């Protein structure tokens, strides 16, 4: 008997002996007790059940360099292991680049070794002998140019004195104008000769100094800055070699994991650009199911929650799973749903990973996911 029927019966029973106020109080009391009893009764919610299709994580393989396909070692439907060679590209150009980069590295390494070790004893002896011979010649050259400068300066002094005496006599009209002009030209010529002799002396002294510097550099070795520059050059060439080696390795496309070849349509001779997808692989033991739970029930689902999966093709086997993802946005209806009635038709995608699966499970099989109830 419901709470309202009970209240009506009580009202009829006591109608003769109780006042109207007592009847009303009794009615309110019965209704309140009934409502409280309904609230205290535990509400049992049924587990969420959603249907979906088994899918596999997809690997899209390709090459960073591309080129012309030389050989193919797979076809659609093949099972491949991690590291298996799948496709090879022609690599003559890449091999030439690699040889060139390695040769340059060897050259720079040899130069650095020469900088670090310095000259050999034989080279030092040869350098000293050459320096002694050259320095002797340069010393003689410096002495000769110094003597020429002294002679030119003496001639300049004589030319200057002759010109000044003639200029004084010209005032007395004792010397012709032509003689005075000749003496002046001789004076200017000697000035030019002195300048040339000084330049020749500076050049010979610079050559002598440079020869001595070469000898000292041979004996003392190279500067630390030169050695540091050589090491930097070697590091740069080694990085260039690693870059070319990485490109050379891309001539071979290998399986990154155990998988099944789902899509592959290339043949030897095909020209493939860099970064183009060559094939699509389905990774082994990486199956999942995407199901859709009503928005009104998604609060009962949490990340990491264990679930039970029933596959239609294997009705007698239950596959354990775990919730891996709950999408943030609802689907099939606009985002801005205003009424509870509309929100009841909105669904949210839930991704369930199957972990280590039965070998008989394959992508495309229909399955049902039974979510475990979360206790409050």
For the chain, the first-to-last Cα distance in angstroms comes to: 31
What pairing do the DSSP bridges indicate for beta strands 252-254 and 85-89?
Answer: antiparallel
DSSP string for 276-297? -EEEEEEEEEEEEEEEEEETTT
- Digit-coded pLDDT (tens) for 171-210: 877 778 888 788 888 888 888 888 888 888 888 777 777 7
The reported pLDDT for the residue numbered 87 is: 95
CA angle 364, 369, 373 (to 5 degrees): 165
* CA-closest candidate to residue 329, choices 303, 353, 347: 347
Burial (CB < 10 A; 0-12, 13-18, 19+), residue 212, is middle
* CA-closest candidate to residue 216, choices 124, 141, 137, 121: 124
Q: Which residue has the tokens 């002996």?
A: 17
Q: Is 367 helix (H, G, I), strand (E, B) or coil?
A: strand
Under a CB-based contact definition with an 8 Å cutoff, are residues 166 and 175 in contact?
A: yes
Q: How many CB atoms lie within 10 A of CB 73?
A: 15
Residue 365 vs residues 31, 51, 122, 188, 313: alpha-carbon distances, Å: 54, 11, 82, 111, 7
d(CA 350, CA 312): 20
Under a CB-based contact definition with an 8 Å cutoff, are residues 330 and 350 in contact?
A: no
Neighbouring residues of 337: CB distance < 8 A, sequence distance ≥ 6: 330, 343, 346
Q: Is the pTM of this model over 0.85?
A: no
* Series of mean pLDDT values for 10-residue runs along the chain (376 residues): 47 51 64 60 64 87 92 91 94 93 94 76 60 63 81 84 82 81 84 85 77 64 79 94 94 91 91 92 85 84 88 83 82 48 69 76 85 55
Sign of CA dihedral 348, 354, 358, 362: positive
The reported pLDDT for the residue numbered 199 is: 87
d(CA 283, CA 262): 10
Polymer length in residues for the chain: 376
Neighbouring residues of 361: CB distance < 8 A, sequence distance ≥ 6: 54, 287, 311, 314, 319, 354
Q: Which residues pair with 366 in a beta bridge?
A: 53
Q: How many CB atoms lie within 10 A of CB 252?
A: 16
Core vs surface per residue 262-289: b (16+ CB within 10 A) or e: eebeeeeeeebeeeeebbebbbbebbbb
Q: Is 302 helix (H, G, I), strand (E, B) or coil?
A: coil
- Digit-coded pLDDT (tens) for 124-135: 565 565 555 566
């Amino acid at each position: 008997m419901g709470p309202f029927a009970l209240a009506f019966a009580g009202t009829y029973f006591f109608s003769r002996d109780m006042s109207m106020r007592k009847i009303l109080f009794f009615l309110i009391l019965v209704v309140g007790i009934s409502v409280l009893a309904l609230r205290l009764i535990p509400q049992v919610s049924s587990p969420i059940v959603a249907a979906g299709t088994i899918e596999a994580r997809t690997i899209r393989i390709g090459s960073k360099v591309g080129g012309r396909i030389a050989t193919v070692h797979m076809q659609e439907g093949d099972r491949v292991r991690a590291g298996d060679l799948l496709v090879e590209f022609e690599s003559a150009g890449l091999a030439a680049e690699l040889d060139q980069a390695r040769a340059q590295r060897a050259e720079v390494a040899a130069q650095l070794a020469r900088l670090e070790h310095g000259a050999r004893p034989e080279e030092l002896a040869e350098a000293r002998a050459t320096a002694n011979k050259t320095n002797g010649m340069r010393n003689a050259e410096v002495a000769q140019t110094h003597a020429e400068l002294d002679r030119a300066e003496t001639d300049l002094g004589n030319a200057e004195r002759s010109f000044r005496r003639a200029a004084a006599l010209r005032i007395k009209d004792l010397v012709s104008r032509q003689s005075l002009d000749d003496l002046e030209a001789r004076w200017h010529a000697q000035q030019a000769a002195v300048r040339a002799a000084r330049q020749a002396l500076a050049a010979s002294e610079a050559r002598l100094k440079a020869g001595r510097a070469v000898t000292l550099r041979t004996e003392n070795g190279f500067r630390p800055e030169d050695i540091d520059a050589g090491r930097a050059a070697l590091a740069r060439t080694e990085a260039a070699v690693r870059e070319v080696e990485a490109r050379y390795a891309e001539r071979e496309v290998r399986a990154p994991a155990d998988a099944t070849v789902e899509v592959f349509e290339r043949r030897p001779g095909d020209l493939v650009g860099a970064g183009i997808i060559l094939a699509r692989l389905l990774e082994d033991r990486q199956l999942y199911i995407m199901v859709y739970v009503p928005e009104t029930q998604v609060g009962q689902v949490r990340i990491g929650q264990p679930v039970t999966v029933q596959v239609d093709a294997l009705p007698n086997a239950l596959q354990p799973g775990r919730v891996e993802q709950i999408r943030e946005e609802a689907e099939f209806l606009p985002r801005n749903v205003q009424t509870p009635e509309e929100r009841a038709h909105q669904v949210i995608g839930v991704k369930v990973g199957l972990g280590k699966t039965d070998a008989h499970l394959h992508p495309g099989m229909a399955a049902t996911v039974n979510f475990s109830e979360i206790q409050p």
